[in-house]
Structure 1
Amino acid sequence: MTSLRPKLIAATLAGALSTAAAQPAPASYTAETTYDKLVASYPFIRVAASAVPASVEAVRDITYVRHGERALQLDLYLPKARAAKALPGIVFVHGGGWRSGVRANFAPMAIRMAERGYAAATISYRLSGEAPYPAAVIDAKAALRWMRANASRYGIDPARIAIGGGSAGGQIASLAGVTEGIPRFEPDAGPGAVSSGAQAIVNIDGLSDFTSEAARMYEDDPNKQPSSAGAWFGGRYAEKPALWREASPTFYVNPRTPPILFIGSAQARFAVGREEMIVKLDAAGVPNRVVLLPETPHSFWLFDPWLGPTVEATVRFLDEHMRGAAGK
């Protein structure tokens, strides 16, 4: 690895630069459809295995929150061999431009996290076609509350629960992690509800600032009617500027913000706002790290050989920064 800056780590892997593929129609953003788009430029990649090994227990289709008749579910992956100490946990939020994708996309990473001693949940949430912003963020927070409320049942440490995600899921995870206790994002948390707080955040190729000119060049493209972000917000930036700002994690940084790990591809458009947010994190004394995988496409975490270093970076960061987390 080559140090790019004090908190910037680069993992060098073979590959060729490519531009990120446009998000497909709802429900079609999977590892398999993405593989078909990328394999010509990256012939060495393989879809990361989602078979559950003997060392991991999978508890599937758990309803974690209901919205009327709508039941949102998660899959939980746990190490079968467990020490007496409760497990650290992480909630994974899938990507797909806020309007597509499935929780199975994060199953390979969740399984590998379980092999490393973590309780890892992959969640489904309300996509933009079902419910606009901030529904997805509210759902991610509900999943954190579920993990904490059910910690004793599954041997999870309620004081060591992180949230992470990729692409749109990285942005959702970041926003959920930096907005603990803000009523706008906690409508389901009644009196006495357990905390939706996260002890750490893992943002994999997710935006930190929707309002920047660089982000709006893609997310507010007038040729897209609507763009992925525009569909989520219910309008373009000129029409809904307050929502575009409100959804940008960078504007919530304060000394109580959880430690944040950024894992990035070679596609700069998905890192917009990251460096500016790091400046704020440093000023607030919030631990943070950036790990870059050079010559990688967006959605790299769905494939080998890139999933391995992604998991390694995540485990190292969480092991370091959730070790002494205070209970909530």
Structure 2
Amino acid sequence: MPRPAVGWWRGLALCLPLLVVGCATHLSTSDAPAITQSGPRPDVDFRRLSPRPYTPPDWPEALEARVLLPDTPGEARRPAALLVHGGGWQRRTPDDMTAIAERLARRGYVTINVAYRFAPEYRFPAQLEDLEQAVAWIHERAEAWRIDTARLVGVGYSSGAHLVSLLALTGESGRLAAVLAGGLPSDLMKFDDGRLVVEFIGGTRAEKPQAYRQASPITHVDADAPPHFLFHGRWDTLVPVDHATDFHAALEAHGVVSELYLQHYRGHFTSFLLRDGAIEAGLAFLDRQLHDD
């Protein structure tokens, strides 16, 4: 067989990085252009506290939070971020969110990166109750850590995104000011009774339809929903992209500020692994919502 032309290989070598980096479609319902990002700002140092329990002694399982405190001068209150990892509601650890937590801390956010109870041993709404407890715990420490509780946001990916969005829409301990969510399963009724969802809820859609609706963020969208920044891979087969597009449309229909950052050539896992552009756009979104100049 004849050898391929050298130019063909060079062309492929040039195209592969572009495919990996990819590009994105960025849709916005806010007045600010979706592509606008906050200007350069100096990073701040931060202090890492030792992991500490955020649940009371009588909680069904002891759960820890990892806290980063930015070294911002003065006595002014700072924004804070509650971070929740993914893993199908039954695996992974807060380690997955460490890099994002550090990025937020360098921008002046107090970050609280939490563990939560896993299915199938603990079923919905146990995980949501854990996050409610985490929010109450943060409020109790707001003065000591100089947190402005009116500027507490939620950040998560996959099942973590599901939990922070659900918390933001239904939370009783004080609603979140905004959400940055990637790979969000927004409507559990869309899944074909897959193992992870069935074990999370404790039954199939036919057996527990009300629980499926109650556990679906899209069910709770109304005009009081907090702003959401959503990022999602167009090639996601685990959580198909219509979870993001339909949820964005529901927020838009209720007049809620929302941005949708669709990552081309990305599946569920590569959307998180190659997330830098989405996270930077999401942080700019959070800055605008919190008026944090």
TM > 0.5 between the two? yes
Change (3 A) 1:55 1:252: same
Letter in 1 for 2:85: H
1:160-198, CA deviations, whole angstroms, 9 ceiling, x for partnerless residues? 0011211111111111110033xxxxxxxxxxxxx3311
Task: Report the Cα distance in structure 1 between the residues aligned to 2:290 and 2:136, rounded to whole angstroms.
Answer: 17
TM-score normalised to structure 1 length: 0.72
Deviation at 1:129, TM superposition (A): 3.3
Residue from 308, 315, 319 that aligns with 2:276: 308
Change (3 A) 1:264 1:160: same
Runs of 4+ in 1 over 6 A off after TM superposition: none
SS of alignment partner, residue 299 of structure 1: helix
Task: Report the Cα distance in structure 1 between the residues aligned to 2:236 and 2:268, rounded to whole angstroms.
Answer: 10
SS of alignment partner, residue 143 of structure 2: helix
SS of alignment partner, residue 202 of structure 1: strand
8 A contact 2:27–2:261 mirrored in 1: no
Instruction: Give the CA RMSD over aligned residues.
Output: 2.4
8 A contact 1:144–1:197 mirrored in 2: no
Percent identity for Structure 1 against Structure 2: 26
1:171-229, CA deviations, whole angstroms, 9 ceiling, x for partnerless residues? 11111110033xxxxxxxxxxxxx331111121101111113xxx23xx14xxxxx011
Structure 1 or 2, whichever has the larger Rg, is 2
Deviation at 1:310, TM superposition (A): 3.4
- 2:159 paired residue number: 168
- 2:103 paired residue number: 112
- 2:52 paired residue number: 62
Deviation at 1:307, TM superposition (A): 4.0
Task: Report the Cα distance in structure 1 between the residues aligned to 2:78 and 2:178, rounded to whole angstroms.
Answer: 15
Deviation at 1:54, TM superposition (A): 9.1
Task: Report the Cα distance in structure 1 between the residues aligned to 2:100 and 2:24, rounded to whole angstroms.
Answer: 24
Task: Report the Cα distance in structure 2 between the residues aligned to 1:82 and 1:310, rounded to whole angstroms.
Answer: 29
Matched ranges for 1:1-328 at <5 A: 3=25, 5-7=27-29, 55-66=45-56, 67-68=58-59, 70-181=61-172, 195-212=173-190, 216-217=191-192, 220-221=193-194, 227-269=195-237, 270=239, 271-300=241-270, 303=273, 306-323=274-291
Change (3 A) 1:168 1:267: farther
SS of alignment partner, residue 160 of structure 1: strand
Task: Report the Cα distance in structure 1 between the residues aligned to 2:189 and 2:139, rounded to whole angstroms.
Answer: 33
Task: Report the Cα distance in structure 2 between the residues aligned to 1:263 and 1:2, rounded to whole angstroms.
Answer: 9
Task: Report the Cα distance in structure 2 between the residues aligned to 1:150 and 1:168, rounded to whole angstroms.
Answer: 26
Q: Structure 2: 5+ residue runs without aligned partners?
A: 1-22, 36-42
SS of alignment partner, residue 89 of structure 1: strand
Deviation at 1:261, TM superposition (A): 0.8
Task: Report the Cα distance in structure 2 between the residues aligned to 1:6 and 1:323, rounded to whole angstroms.
Answer: 17
- Equivalenced residue count is 257
